[in-house]
Structure 1
Amino acid sequence: MHQAHGMGYEEYTNKVSKLLEVEKRREEDYQKSLEIAADIDRNSK
């Protein structure tokens, strides 16, 4: 947790703003991965 998001689990669970920040970043990373997968799929056909 600390290495990936720059905070410990306790801080993540105790501060709503930090939790929202991490979850927003995770969602952005997930959307980027979907775009990359779609690009790869399109280019492989």
Structure 2
Amino acid sequence: MMVLQMNYTSEMEKAMHGAHNVCYATYCRKHEVRMRVERRREQEYIQSQRLVADLTRNQLR
């Protein structure tokens, strides 16, 4: 089992809990939680890229 070794701050902890409703220690310890968070991050990234593309297209008109 691979465990992420990172130094993290209380701000990072707050952001993780606020955005994904999970503490950072759980994120590091549980593979299924980490995969759920990363899938959500990927979907949010894709949505943001689509939004940027739409805005860019609208500005060019």
TM (normalized to structure 2)?
A: 0.72
Runs of 4+ in structure 1 off by over 4 angstroms are none
**Unmatched tracts of structure 2, length 5 or more:** 1-15
Identity of aligned residues (%): 40
Aligned-pair RMSD on alpha carbons? 0.4
Aligned length: 45
TM (normalized to structure 1)?
A: 0.96
**Unmatched tracts of structure 1, length 5 or more:** none
**Structure in which a larger fraction of residues adopt helix:** 1
Aligned to 1:2: 17
